[in-house]
Amino acid sequence: MGTTLSRRGLLSLGLGVGAGTLLAACGGGESPKAAGNTRIVARCWGGVWETALRKVSPGFTAATGVEVLNDPGSDTVPLLQQKPGQYDLAWLIGNEAARGLTSGVLEPIDTSRIEKWDSIVKRLTEGQTKDGKVSAVPISYTASGILYKTDKVPFKITSWKDLWRPELKGQVALQNAPSIGGLFLVFTGARLFGNGPTDYEAGWAALERLKDNVQFLFTTSTDGVNKLAAGSVAAVVTIADQGIPLKSRGVETVVPAEGSTWSVQNLTIPAASKNKDQAYDFINYMLKDETQVQWAREGKAAPGSTTVTLPADVAANLVETPQIAESLWPIDWYEFGDKITEWTTRWQRIFGK
**CA separation for the pair 197, 333 (Å, rounded):** 14
123 located within any domain: yes
Closest CA to 2 of 44, 273, 14: 44
Over 70: is that where the pLDDT of 33 sits? no
Over 50: is that where the pLDDT of 192 sits? yes
Lowest mean pLDDT among 22-26, 55-59, 66-70, 198-202: 22-26
1 located within any domain: no
What is the pLDDT at residue 20? Answer: 41
Neighbours of 61 (CB within 10 A): 20
Single-letter amino acid code for the residue at 233: V
2 located within any domain: no
Which residues, at least 6 apart from 296, have a Cβ–Cβ distance to it below 8 Å? 140, 302, 303, 308, 310, 314, 318
Instruction: Print the SS3 string covering the chain.
Output: CCCECCHHHHHHCCCCCCCCCCEECCCCCCCCCCCCCCEEEEEECCCHHHHHHHHHCHHHHHHHCCEEEEEECCCHHHHHHHCCCCCCEEEECHHHHHHHHHHCCECCCCHHHCCCHHHECHHHHHCCEECCEECCEEEEEEEEEEEEECCCCCCCCCCHHHHHCHHHCCCEEEECCCCHHHHHHHHHHHHHHCCCCCCHHHHHHHHHHHHHHEEEEECCHHHHHHHHHHCCCCEEEEEHHHHHHHHHHCEEEECCCCCECEEEEEEECECCCCCHHHHHHHHHHHCCHHHHHHHHHHHCCEECECCCCCCHHHHCCCCCCHHHHHHECCCCHHHHHHHHHHHHHHHHHHHCC
Q: Are residues 250 and 283 in the same domain?
A: no
pLDDT over 90 percentage in the chain: 88
Q: Are residues 235 and 338 in the same domain?
A: yes
Residue range 26-51: mean pLDDT, rounded = 70
What is the pLDDT at residue 221? Answer: 85
Q: pLDDT category, 61, cuts 50, 70, 90? A: very high
Q: Are residues 153 and 300 in the same domain?
A: no
Q: Are residues 113 and 14 in the same domain?
A: yes
Q: How far is CA 195 from the centre of its chain?
A: 29
Q: Are residues 169 and 133 in the same domain?
A: no
Over 60: is that where the pLDDT of 35 sits? no
Q: Are residues 237 and 277 in the same domain?
A: no
User: What is the DSSP pairing of strand 23-24 with strand 235-239?
Assistant: unpaired
Q: Are residues 102 and 210 in the same domain?
A: no
What is the pLDDT at residue 24? Answer: 45
Write the CATH number for 209. Answer: 3.40.190.10
Residue with the bigger pLDDT between 353 and 23: it is 353
Q: Are residues 255 and 276 in the same domain?
A: no
Compute the mean pLDDT over every residue in the chain, rounded to the nearest whole number. Answer: 91
User: What is the DSSP pairing of strand 302-303 with strand 137-149?
Assistant: antiparallel
Label residue 13 exposed, middle or buried (CB < 10 Å: 0-12, 13-18, 19+). middle
Residue range 144-159: mean pLDDT, rounded = 98
218-238 residue pLDDT tens? 998 889 999 999 999 999 999
Over 70: is that where the pLDDT of 25 sits? no
313-346 residue pLDDT tens? 999 999 999 999 999 999 999 999 999 999 999 9
What is the pLDDT at residue 223? Answer: 93
158 located within any domain: yes
Residue range 106-122: mean pLDDT, rounded = 98
What is the pLDDT at residue 7? Answer: 34
What is the pLDDT at residue 3? Answer: 31
Q: Are residues 136 and 274 in the same domain?
A: yes
What is the pLDDT at residue 353? Answer: 65
User: What is the DSSP pairing of strand 214-218 with strand 172-175?
Assistant: parallel
Domain that holds residue 317: 7-141+263-327
115-151 residue pLDDT tens? 999 999 999 999 999 999 999 999 999 999 999 999 9
Tally of domains within the chain: 2
246-257 residue pLDDT tens? 999 999 999 999
Q: Are residues 78 and 216 in the same domain?
A: no
pTM, rounded to two decimals: 0.90
Q: Are residues 222 and 131 in the same domain?
A: no
Over 80: is that where the pLDDT of 30 sits? no
Over 50: is that where the pLDDT of 55 sits? yes
